[in-house]
Amino acid sequence: MTLPAASSPQGSGEGAGAAKVQAADVWARAAATGNSAAYMILRNGGDTADRLVKAESDVADAVELHKTTMEGSMMKMAPVENIEVPAKGQAKLEPGGLHVMLIGLKRELKAGEKIKLKLQFEKAGAQEIEAEVRKP
């Protein structure tokens, strides 16, 4: 699913070379309780790099940007301050890598439903998108 980028407020640097980030293939992991994660591809069609700096959702107590890394034979997750989206490039948020962590689910996330996410970019501004819930 590809949703159009939200329009930026006047004076926010939007123009020929401004960052133009769109989210594609947005999905979240089905979960009954605890935590979940959302994944997507962030595509920047602009000439300026951008950063995803924050994410929000009403289905979780907290939402953080995370990265999964391997340390020896242990897989670890840790928060990151932002996720870079290069100019004319993309950032993949996928299992085993960068992702949006949904911490403390307020309700069950059932396969087939859609949840709302709000993404905040440093330059492209805020975007409200939907994620399809899928079984892992």
Q: Which CATH number covers residue 52?
A: 2.60.40.1890
If one counts the domains in the chain, the total is 1
Chain-centroid distance, C-alpha 136:
17
Comparing CA positions, the residue from 41, 12, 47, 9 lying closest to residue 25 is 41
Does the pLDDT of residue 127 top 80, yes or no?
yes
pLDDT of the residue at 121: 97
Comparing CA positions, the residue from 30, 47, 48 lying closest to residue 107 is 30
Q: Which domain holds residue 36?
A: 21-134
pLDDT of the residue at 3: 42
38-93: pLDDT as tens digits:
999 999 999 999 999 999 999 999 999 999 988 889 999 999 999 999 999 999 99
Q: Is residue 29 part of a domain?
A: yes
7-51: pLDDT as tens digits:
333 334 444 456 799 999 999 999 999 999 999 999 999 999 999
DSSP 116: E
**SS3 of residue 98 by DSSP:** strand
Tokens of 84: 């870079």
Q: Is residue 48 part of a domain?
A: yes
Q: Is residue 96 part of a domain?
A: yes
- Per DSSP, the residues of 81-136 read S-EEE-TT-EEEE-TTSEEEEEEEESS-B-TT-EEEEEEEETTTEEEEEEEEEE--
Whether the pTM exceeds 0.95: the reply is no
